[in-house]
Amino acid sequence: MKLDKSYSVLIVGLGLIGGSYAKGLKKEGHTVFGIDSDPETVSYALSEGIIDKGVCTPEPEMISRADLIVIALYPHLLVDWVLDNKSSFKKGAVITDVTGVKSDMVHRIQANLGRDNEFIAAHPMAGREVYGIKNSDEKIFLGANFIIVPTDENTFDAIEIIKGLANTLGFARISSMPPRAHDEMIGFVSQLTHCIAICLMTCSKSEHLVDYTGDSFRDLTRIARINEKMWSELFLLNKDALLLQMKKFIDEFSEFYDILERGDCKAMKEKMILSAKRRALFDKKPEKEGI
Residues 113-152, interacting with a second copy (CB under 8 A): 125-127, 144-145, 147
Q: By the 8 A CB rule, do 104 and 121 touch?
A: no
Select from 44, 190, 237, 241 the one that contacts a second copy (CB under 8 A).
190
Strand, coil or helix: what is 119?
strand
Q: Which is nearer to a second copy, 160 or 257 (CB)?
A: 257
The DSSP line for 58-102 is --HHHHTT-SEEEE-S-HHHHHHHHHHHGGGSPTT-EEEE--S--
Q: Which is nearer to a second copy, 5 or 229 (CB)?
A: 229
The DSSP symbol for 221 reads H
To the nearest whole angstrom, how small is the minimum distance from the Cβ of residue 233 to a second copy?
8
* # chain residues binding a second copy, by CB under 8 A: 88
Positions in 258-277 near a second copy (CB under 8 A)? 260-261, 263, 265, 268-269, 271-276
Shortest spacing between CB 153 and a second copy, in angstroms: 22
Q: To the nearest whole angstrom, how small is the minimum distance from the Cβ of residue 138 to a second copy?
A: 16
Ranges within 199-238 binding a second copy (CB under 8 A): 199-204, 206-207, 209-229, 231-232, 235-236
**Cα 164 to Cα 74: distance, rounded to the nearest angstrom:** 24
Contacts (CB under 8 A) with a second copy, residues 170-189? 173, 175, 177, 185, 188-189
Which is closer to a second copy, CB of 5 or CB of 180? 180
Residue 284 touching a second copy (CB under 8 A): yes
Please check whether residue 8 is in contact with residue 33, taking contact to mean a CB–CB distance below 8 angstroms.
yes
- 254: number of CA atoms within 13 Å, CB side? 6
φ, ψ of residue 37 in degrees (nearest 5): -70, -15
Return the number of the residue (74 or 217) whose C-beta is nearest a second copy: 217
Task: Tell me the β-bridge partners of 190.
Answer: none
Q: Which of 3, 40, 5, 2 is nearest to 19 (CA)?
A: 40
Task: List Cβ neighbours of 249 (8 Å cut-off, separation of 6 or more).
Answer: 192, 196
Which residues within the stretch 38-97 sit at the binding site for a second copy (CB under 8 A)? none
Shortest Cβ distance from residue 287 to a second copy (Å)?
Answer: 12
Smaller CB separation from a second copy, 115 or 277: 277
